[in-house]
């Protein structure tokens, strides 16, 4: 069994190798897109219209939609738009929500999982990229999960915000504040892909480049006096 020092060396060696390999990558492979969005419709018609437009865009690209599996809110609109246009839709939902009868029974495949944590884990495993539409606490949690996994180079998968009607402006302002106060690295904030156009955003995900982990780790060590 490797000791802690050996494991540390292997981790940074593999991270460095990954950075080199990624530098030669022209475009990210994006065919399975996980969309985080609300189980409510929101008050503005534009949110529903954006869900329809994104569903059309993904179907036209022949992408596979992975989502929370619900038959309510923007989730339902997105899934049904995809299916109406022949797109493949995969849902992931915990048992306790299925028992509440909010699961969509008409999609191509439903993964039943034990918990919300397992749901997110499987979403990350199955997806090439992520798009967040307007939503509530669940969407915010999922955005934070992907940002953290990307920061630590566990996922290395693009995250896009579909900023319909400026919905995410306040979140982006919070992230900018985190950068100015020294708690968020500017390169991690800048790695988020932002667009209000549901037809352009999926293609923008292919331009994603992960942030090298070595640089910012060394910087936080230095500022901590190590």
Kind plus residue range of the DSSP H or E element containing 182: none
- Amino acid 195: pLDDT: 98
Q: What is the rounded average pLDDT of the residues 134-143?
A: 97
Q: Is the pLDDT score of 19 beyond 80?
A: no
Going by C-beta distance under 8 Å and a sequence separation of 6 or more, which residues neighbour residue 76? Answer: 70, 104
**Choice between 14 and 67, residue whose per-residue pLDDT is larger:** 67
- Starting at the edge strand that comes first in sequence, how are the strands of the sheet with 32-36 ordered? 109-113, 89-94, 64-67, 32-36, 129-132, 159-162, 193-195
Domains of the chain (ranges, CATH numbers): 28-223 (3.40.50.450)
Q: What is the rounded average pLDDT of the residues 92-109?
A: 92
Q: Is the pLDDT score of 112 beyond 60?
A: yes
Q: What are phi and psi of 57, to 5 degrees?
A: -60, -45
What does pLDDT average to over the chain?
89
Q: What percent of the chain has pLDDT over 90?
A: 77
Report residue 62 as tokens.
């022949």
Which letter does DSSP use for residue 165 in this model? G
Read off the pLDDT of residues 66-100 as tens digits, 9 standing for 90 and up: 999 999 999 999 999 999 999 999 999 999 999 88
Q: Is the pLDDT score of 119 beyond 50?
A: yes
Smallest CA-to-CA distance from 69 within 114, 107, 115 is with 107
Q: What are phi and psi of 154, to 5 degrees?
A: -85, -35
| Entry pTM | 0.85
């Amino acid at each position: 069994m490797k000791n802690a020092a050996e494991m540390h060396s292997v981790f940074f060696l593999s991270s460095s190798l990954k950075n080199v390999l990624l530098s030669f990558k022209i475009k990210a492979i994006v065919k399975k897109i996980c969309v985080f969005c609300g189980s409510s419709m929101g008050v503005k018609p534009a949110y529903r219209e954006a869900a329809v437009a994104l569903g059309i865009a993904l179907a036209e690209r022949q992408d596979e939609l992975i989502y929370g599996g619900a038959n309510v809110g923007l989730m339902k609109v997105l899934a049904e738009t995809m299916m109406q246009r022949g797109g493949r839709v995969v849902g992931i939902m915990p048992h306790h929500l299925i028992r509440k009868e909010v699961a969509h029974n008409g999609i191509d495949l439903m993964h039943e999982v034990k918990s919300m944590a397992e749901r997110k884990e499987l979403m990350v495993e199955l997806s090439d990229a992520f798009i967040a539409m307007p939503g509530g606490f669940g969407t915010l949690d999922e955005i934070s999960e992907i940002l953290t996994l990307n920061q630590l180079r566990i996922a290395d998968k693009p995250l896009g915000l579909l900023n319909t009607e400026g919905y995410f402006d306040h979140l982006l302002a919070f992230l900018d504040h985190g950068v100015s106060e020294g708690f968020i690295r500017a390169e991690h904030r800048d790695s988020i892909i932002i667009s209000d156009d549901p037809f352009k955003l999926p293609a923008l995900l292919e331009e994603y480049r992960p942030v090298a982990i070595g640089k910012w780790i060394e910087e936080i060590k230095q500022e901590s006096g190590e």
